[in-house]
Amino acid sequence: MRHFRLPNKLLLALALMFALAGCTAKRVVLNSRFEPANVPPRPDYSLLELWAAHPDKKDAADQLPQVDSLKDGQATAAADIFFIHPTIYTYEPNGRYPWNGNVEDADLNQQVDNSTILNQASIFNAAGRVFAPRYRQAHIYAYFTPNEADAKAAFDTAYADVKAAFEYYLKHFNQGRPFIIAAHSQGTQHGKRLIRELIDGQPLQQQLVVAYLVGMPTPADFFTHIPVCQDGDQTGCFVTWNTYAKGYTPPNHGKELYKAAATNPLNWTTNGEPAPATLHMGAVGQKFKPLKPGLHDAAAHEGMLWISRPKIAGAALLNIKNWHRADYNLFYFNVRQNAVERVKAYLQRLARQ
């Protein structure tokens, strides 16, 4: 019997959806209620091992795709990145902590490092020093449980860690440096709350270069004093997008997505103007391998970011409609360059003051 083999490039493309960072499509049901007694220990952020990425350690955020022109600029960077990772705790719990991940769980930490830290946090190592805390992330079921009290308790536990890590970063590492908040999915949920509570309208807002709030619907007026960005070098603003196949409208569109802002990472506008594939600088696929530029076009449409079918061998076999897990990977090199440009613009404006 002959075995059918998919082309290597198609395997890479499929991996963008099925083997990268972010929430899984598989639904795991937790059969117990949230109990405070079954919450993992609170992290101590003075311990270096409780940071998935930190400039004082070698980690997955230091890695670079196999492109000769790329360099890790953290050693000389003038800015910092505070990265909040998405939900990786998506599988059947095998311990006493079903609702929130344990930051001392070596297996879970390895999954975090090999997925989101490698594929997403590494984008920003040219723009600044990367800090990414391990936190007691809520289990994926918190998004699906009919019990709102359980979900709130799990998310509040996770957010408490994110806030504590950010405050520790500010006290011990920031030293007045400009910073970027970057996040995806559950990370964006916590990032939005963090910015509202500690940055929006506060003195700390003056240090905010930009916030990348990706993979979670965010309206343009979500913050009082921080607008959605309108071009590629604007600072003190936020960008946001949720990626879908062109022409597809997901079931949650009428609930909240239609109210969201949608930044196009190919032209960095929210005006809905389509951006051609010629502006696409390249993606990153399976095993952290770069994919060629010009893979797809993109256009913001009613709170969504629509992309065309990627221009790769075997693309006709792709039927992916929701590209959530690849929100960053699809635009890896565009986001990487943009973060550098926004830091540069921030520093130039600061020098003119």
Q: Is residue 2 part of a domain?
A: no
The arithmetic mean of pLDDT across residues 194-205, rounded, is 98
One-letter amino acid identity for 134? R
Say if residues 306 and 244 touch (Cβ distance below 8 Å). Answer: yes
Instruction: Give the confidence band of 314 by pLDDT, cuts at 50, 70, 90.
Output: low
pLDDT of residue 321: 94
Rounded Cα gap, residues 305 and 262, in angstroms: 6
Q: Is residue 204 part of a domain?
A: yes
Instruction: Give the confidence band of 17 by pLDDT, cuts at 50, 70, 90.
Output: very low
Q: Is residue 1 part of a domain?
A: no
The arithmetic mean of pLDDT across residues 287-303, rounded, is 95
Q: Is residue 3 part of a domain?
A: no
Q: Token pair for residue 323?
A: 């590209």
Q: Token pair for residue 9?
A: 């490039």
Rounded Cα gap, residues 67 and 82, in angstroms: 25
Segment among 7-21, 71-85, 272-286, 313-327 with least mean pLDDT: 7-21
Q: What are φ and ψ of residue 29, in 5° steps?
A: -105, 125
The arithmetic mean of pLDDT across residues 331-348, rounded, is 98
Total residue count of the chain as it appears in this document: 353
The arithmetic mean of pLDDT across residues 96-115, rounded, is 97
Q: Which of 89, 80, 67 is nearest to 21 (CA)?
A: 89
pLDDT of residue 18: 41
Segment among 12-26, 49-63, 210-224, 237-251 with least mean pLDDT: 12-26
Instruction: Give the confidence band of 284 by pLDDT, cuts at 50, 70, 90.
Output: very high
Rounded Cα gap, residues 279 and 265, in angstroms: 9
- Percent of the chain surpassing pLDDT 70: 91
Query: pLDDT tens digit string along 149-161?
Result: 999 999 999 999 9
Query: pLDDT tens digit string along 230-281?
Result: 999 999 999 999 999 999 999 999 999 999 999 999 999 999 999 999 999 9
Only one residue has tokens 């559950």, namely: 186
pLDDT of residue 287: 86
Number of H helices, E strands in the chain: 6, 11
Distances, alpha carbon 26 to alpha carbons 22, 140, 141, 232, 257, in Å? 12, 10, 10, 36, 22
Q: Is residue 258 part of a domain?
A: yes
Rounded Cα gap, residues 226 and 66, in angstroms: 36
pLDDT of residue 155: 98
Q: Is residue 42 part of a domain?
A: yes
Q: How many domains does the chain have?
A: 1
Q: Is residue 230 part of a domain?
A: yes
pLDDT of residue 353: 85
pLDDT of residue 316: 63
pLDDT of residue 7: 42
Please report which helix (H) or strand (E) contains residue 213, including its range.
strand 208-214
Q: Which domain holds residue 260?
A: 8-352
Average pLDDT of the residues of the chain: 92
pLDDT of residue 20: 54
pTM, whole model, 2 decimals? 0.94
Q: Token pair for residue 199?
A: 């940055």
Q: Is residue 94 part of a domain?
A: yes
Query: pLDDT tens digit string along 55-79?
Result: 999 999 999 999 888 999 999 999 9
